[in-house]
Amino acid sequence: MNYFQPNDLNSAFDVLKNNSDLTIAAGCTDLFPVTNNISLDKNILDITNIKSMRGFGLHNKNTKIGAATTWTDIINENLPSCFDMLKACAKEVGSIQIQNLGTIGGNICNASPAADSIPCLLALDAKLELSSIDNQRIIPIDEFILGSRKTKLEQGEILTSIIIPKEKEKGSSSFKKIGARKYLVISISMVACRILISNNIIEDISISIGSCSEVAKRIFSIERQLINKNIKEDIFNQIDFSQLNEISPITDIRSTQVYRLKASQSLIKDVVADIINKLDIE
C-alpha cells in the first residue's frame, strides 16, 4: 500500500496523475466501515493536509465551503441563518468523534441515500467544484449524484469545494431527521428547508427530502403549494400531500414504506413551522 499526504492541491494532482489506482481519503469515516481490516488496504491519497480545501471562503462573491471541511468546522463557523439547516445537520452526524473527522466532501462523494448533507445542499442550490490537473468544472449537486454510491466524479478529479449561490443565502432554514435513536443513527427520513419570507408572504422556498429515494430529492410539488402563501393563515391544512410524488420510500430494516412517507410529511410541517417560529422570535 502507498500512502500520500500532500500539503497542496498541485501536489495532490501530481500524485493522482502518476497513480491510477488511488483512493481519495478524508476523514475515513465512510471508508473504514466498508473494510474488514484494521487499516485501509488500498493506495491512499489523504487530502486532510490541504489547507485550501478546508473552511469557508468566497468564490465570485458566493460562499465556498472547502470539501475537506469537517462537521465540527461547520458547527463552529459563524454563518447566516440560511445555513442553520447545515449546522443542525452537522450536529446530528454520527457522534462528536465522527463530526471531528468526517467531512462534507466525503459525505457528498460517498453518495449514500442517507447522507445528511445532501438535502441541505439541494435546498441551497449548491454547486460542486471538481478539479483535476488540467481542468476545473462546476456542476449542480443534483447532477453530480447519479444514484446510490454513484457520482459523476471522474478519474483524476477531486471535489475541491461546494459553492452556495449568493441569492440562495437569503432567508432562514431548518433541518430535521428522524431515526430509531438520537445518536449514531442512520436516518429513516430527513427534511431540509429554506424559506424567504417578506411581509408575511413566502417569497421563496426550497424543500428537500433524503433517505426516501435512491438520491435525495427537491420537493417541488409542496414548494409550489406554499409559495406566495401568507404565513399568518393556516398554511399547513392547505398542503395536499397526495401530490408528493418525488420520493419513493422503501420498506427496509429501519422502517416501513408507510412510516417513511408519514414521517416525511410530518417533518415537512415541522421544518416550515420551525422557520416561521424563529421569525416570530426575531
Ligand X SMILES: Cc1cc2nc3c(=O)[nH]c(=O)nc-3n(C[C@H](O)[C@H](O)[C@H](O)COP(=O)(O)OP(=O)(O)OC[C@H]3O[C@@H](n4cnc5c(N)ncnc54)[C@H](O)[C@@H]3O)c2cc1C
Which parts of this chain interact with ligand X (CB under 6 A)? Answer: 23-31, 33, 47, 67, 92-94, 98, 101-103, 105-107, 109-110, 115-116, 153, 158-159, 184
180 vs 227, beta carbon nearer ligand X: 180
25 vs 268, beta carbon nearer ligand X: 25
d(CA 105, CA 139): 14
CB 13, min distance to ligand X, A: 12
Indicate the residue whose CB is closest to ligand X.
106
d(CA 210, CA 208): 7
State the cell numbers at 107. Answer: 459525505
CB 152, min distance to ligand X, A: 11
State the cell numbers at 87. Answer: 449546522
CB 114, min distance to ligand X, A: 6
29 vs 81, beta carbon nearer ligand X: 29
- Cell 454563518 identifies what position? 79
Amino acid at 242: S
CB 279, min distance to ligand X, A: 28
CB 112, min distance to ligand X, A: 7
30 vs 274, beta carbon nearer ligand X: 30
Beta 201-210 vs 217-218: how paired, if at all? antiparallel
27 vs 249, beta carbon nearer ligand X: 27
31 vs 75, beta carbon nearer ligand X: 31
State the cell numbers at 30. Answer: 465512510
124 vs 202, beta carbon nearer ligand X: 124
CB 135, min distance to ligand X, A: 14
CB 81, min distance to ligand X, A: 22
